[in-house]
Structure 1
C-alpha cells in the first residue's frame, strides 16, 4: 500500500507542477529544465571514458552541505569526473555553472523508467545523496546495479515515517544505502533502532565549508565603507514573516545600529517598500558608492551570492526563515562569531539547537523578545566576546566531517579506479 501511495504521490507531484508552470516561475523552471533531459545527458556524456561519481542535492542548502565533499573528492580522485544533480530550481539555477562539477543536470522525476535510464547513462562508480534525499526507484536501481550509495549529513527524527509501524516500505529505502553518515548521534541511534547499522556519526560537512569561507572571505568595499565605526546587524535570507518582526526593531534601533539586509528573494516591490519606510536612510547595494555609503543606516542587498562574506561585518546576525517554513544557514554567520538571532521554528535544524545550547544563538518569538535579548547583549561587551570564543570552540569541535566521510568511503574504492 505504501509503495502504491508513493507512486501516486510522485506522479501527482509531476502533474501538479506542470499545471502550475504557466503561473509560477519556479514551477516553469522545474518543468523546462527537464525537457529532453535524457538526450541532454547522453550528448554531454558522449565520449567520456573517465569514471563518474554522482552527487545529488535537493536544493541549494543541501549543495552547500555536499560541496566540501565534492571538492575534497575531486582533489583525492582527480581521475574521476563529477556529475551533480539537483531536484529544485533554487539549487540548479544558482549552481548550474559550478566549476567543481564536470556535469550538472536536473534530476528526472523518481519513476522506475527514469531511474533505469539515468543510471544506465551515468554508469556511476558511486553515488552520494545529501541529507534528505531518499528516493525509492533511484536507490533500488543503484542497489540492483551494485553501485555504492552513500547518504551524507543525514538527520533523522523519531516522528518520521521510517520509525513507525507502517514504515516498512521506507525502511527498505534506507537499507539500500551502502553507508549513512549522520549529523548527530541521535540520528545514528534511531537508525540502529530499526536495525540499520552501516552508520557513522560524522557531523555536518557545512562546518568545514563555512570555516573555509571565513578564512577566504572576500572583502566587500561597499559594506566596509557602510559599516565605518558603527555596530552592524546583518539580516540574512529574510522573508516577509521575518520583516514583520524586524521592522519595528529597525525603527527603534536605527539611530544607533546599522543594518545590512539581504532578502531571501530579490523582489523590486519589497525593496521599494523598504526604501519608502526608511527615506534617506536606506540605500541599495547596486546604487551605493564607497565614498558616501557611511551616510546611510540601512544597506539593502539586491544581488545573490555575497551573504556568506557579508557576515564578516556583523556585530550581530539575524538569520531568516524560522518564522515561516524553515531556518536558513546559521553556520555562515557563526563562522565569524557574532550573537545570532532567529525565529521560533528551528527544531528541525541540528546546528541551530547546538548553537543555542552553546549559548551563542537566541531564538525569538516577537519584536519585544528580540529587543530585550539584543539590549542585554549590546550592553555587555564581555559577554559578546565570550560568545565569539564559544562559537569558535564549537565549530572547531565539529570540523572534519568531510575528511571522516571521505576516508571511510575509500573502503569501497580500493583501486581508486585508476
Structure 2
C-alpha cells in the first residue's frame, strides 16, 4: 500500500516531464499532440450500456486483440466496446480495425484521474492486453467493483527481473486482478511467481488473426511492381538494425534481388531513407506508388497498416527487433502468410512462438546481419525450400489457434 501511495504521489510531479516528452516526440510524429485532453483525463468517456473496455498499448497488442473482440461480440452481441491505447500508431490501428468501437487514449496512471475515468465509463469489465500493468488503473477498477482481467498475458525473464525490483507495487496490483489468461506455461509460471492469481494458460490470440483478404490482394499488386525480382522483406525493424542490414546488403552479391525495409515506427521513415542514401544505394519509396525501377536496390515501406501486404509480396521475411536486443516483433503474422521466416538472436518477447516455429521448420535463426543476408540470398535461390518453409508456417499457425475462444470462456465464468 505504501509503495502505491508513493507511486501515486509521483504522477502529478511527473506531469510536466510527460508534457515535455510528448512535445519532443511530436517534432517527428505530430500525432503525439493530438487528443491531448484525453491523455490527462480532461475529456472523459461516456458511460451507459453494457461496456467492455479493452486496453492495448500499441499496434501489436491492438491487432492481437481483434480475434478476441470478435469472439466477445459473438458472446455479448449487445456490448459496446471502448478501446484505449497509449501511442498514435496504436490509436490509428484501432480506428482502422474497430470502426464500431469508441477509440481513445488511456490517461496516464494518476490515481485521481483514473478513478474519474472508471467512474465515468462504468464498464462491465476491463481487459488488459499482454503486460499492461497500471497499478492505479487496476486499483480504481477494484474500488468500483469492475472486474479486471490480464489477457493474452506474457512476461519474459527480462521483464520479470525488472518487475521484481518494484514487487511491492506490482504484486498487490496483480492480486487485484479477477483472472489472468497467459500465453504459455512459462508466462504463467513467471506471472504466478510475481503474484498473479492462478494464471490459466489459454494460448496466444495472435495465432487467431488471419491475414485480411484485401491485404493479400494488395500484396499481389505490390509483387507485380517487382517485375519478377526476388524480394527480401525486413519487417518492423528497430533503431540500429537498418544500418547493419544495409551494410551487409551493400557488401553482398545480391544480383537483382530487392531489399524491402519497413521500420517499426513511422517517425523513422525519413531517417532510414537517409541511411540508404548515405550508402549510395538506389532507393525507392512505397509511397510513390510506382513499379520498381530496374536499378532500385532498396524499397522503403513508408506506409501504415500494410504489413500483411508486404508479407504477401515477399519471398523471405526477416523479423525486426531480433537482430539487436529488442526481443523481436511478431513472427506469427509472417508465418500466417506462408512466407519463410528469419529471426535474429533476440526473441524473448516471442520466445515460445519462436521456438515452435523453428521446431516446425517455418523459421531459421541468424546470428548477425551478414548471416541474415547470406541466408536470405540462399533461400531466394532455393524455391523448393522456400515452399516447404511456407507450408510449415501455415501448419504451425493452424495448430495453435483457439486462444480467443478459451479467453472468452474464462471471462464468461467470472462475468456470469
State if a TM-score over 0.5 links the two structures.
yes
Q: Return the match for 1:40 from 31, 39, 43.
A: 43
Tell me the CA shift for residue 141 of structure 1: 1.9
CA contact (8 A) 1:327 1:346 kept: yes
Change (3 A) 1:318 1:147: same
Map 1:392-403; keep pairs closer than 5 Å: 392-403=394-405
Query: Are 1:255 and 2:258 matched, yes or no?
Result: no
Tell me the CA shift for residue 145 of structure 1.
Answer: 2.2
SS class of match (2:222): helix
The normalised TM-score by structure 1 is 0.85
Q: Residue 184 of structure 1 aligns with which residue?
A: 184
Query: What's the counterpart of residue 83 of structure 2?
Result: 84
Shift of residue 205, structure 1, vs aligned partner: 0.7
Task: State the shift of 1:53 in Å.
Answer: 0.6
TM-score by length of structure 2 reads: 0.85
CA RMSD of aligned residues (A): 3.1
The counterpart of 1:404, out of the listed 397, 406, 413, is 406
* Cα displacement (A) at 1:204: 1.1
* SS of 1:58 mapped into structure 2: coil
| Greater CA drift, 168-177 or 53-62 | 168-177
Q: What is the CA-CA distance between 1:2 and the residue it aligns to?
A: 3.2
Contact residue 34 and residue 108 of structure 1 kept, 8 A: no
Deviations 1:238-296 (A, max 9, x none): 234122221133222431422222223353353255256456x5322232434x65674
Measured after TM superposition, the shift of residue 216 of structure 1 is 6.2
**d(CA) in 2 for partners of 1:286, 1:144:** 49
Q: Residue in 1 aligned with 2:389?
A: 387
| Equivalent residues of 2:238, 2:263 under 8 A apart | yes
Query: Does the 8 Å CA contact 2:54/2:128 hold for their aligned counterparts?
Result: yes
* Residues 96-122 of structure 1, C-alpha deviations (whole Å, 9 max, x = no match): 465345212211121221121011100
Give the aligned partner of residue 309 of structure 1: 309
SS of residue in 2 equivalent to 1:24: helix
Q: Which runs of 5+ in 2 are unaligned?
A: none
Map Cα deviations across residues 360-417 of structure 1 (whole Å, 9 max, x no partner): 3334343332244335545554443332232222211211111111122222333xxx
Larger deviation, residues 324-333 vs 147-156: 324-333
Q: Is the 8 A contact 1:188 1:200 kept in 2?
A: yes
* CA distance in 2 between partners of 1:222 and 1:284 (Å): 15
Q: Are residues 129 and 289 of structure 1, via their aligned partners in 2, closer, same or farther at CA, if it must alter by over 3 Å?
A: same
Q: Is the 8 A contact 1:162 1:170 kept in 2?
A: no
Residues 294-322 of structure 1 deviation map (CA, whole Å, 9 limit, x = unaligned): 67443322221112211112111112223
Change (3 A) 1:213 1:298: same
Q: Paired residue for 2:122?
A: 123
Aligned match of 1:75: 74
**Structure 1 counterpart SS, 2:212:** helix
Aligned equivalent of 1:6? 7
Alpha-carbon offset, residue 176 of structure 1 = 1.4
Matches within 5 A, 1:283-302: 283-290=284-291, 296-302=296-302
- Structure 1 contact 220–310 (Cα < 8 Å) conserved: yes
Rounded to whole Å, the distance in 2 between the matches of 1:109 and 1:383 is 49
Unaligned segments of structure 1, at least 5 residues:
none
Note closer, same or farther for the CA distance 1:268–1:410 as it changes in structure 2 (3 Å cut). same
**SS of the residue aligned with 1:104?**
strand
> Could you tell me how far apart the structure 1 residues matched to 2:12 and 2:48 are?
34
Correspondences of 1:324-335 after superposition (within 5 Å)? 325-335=326-336
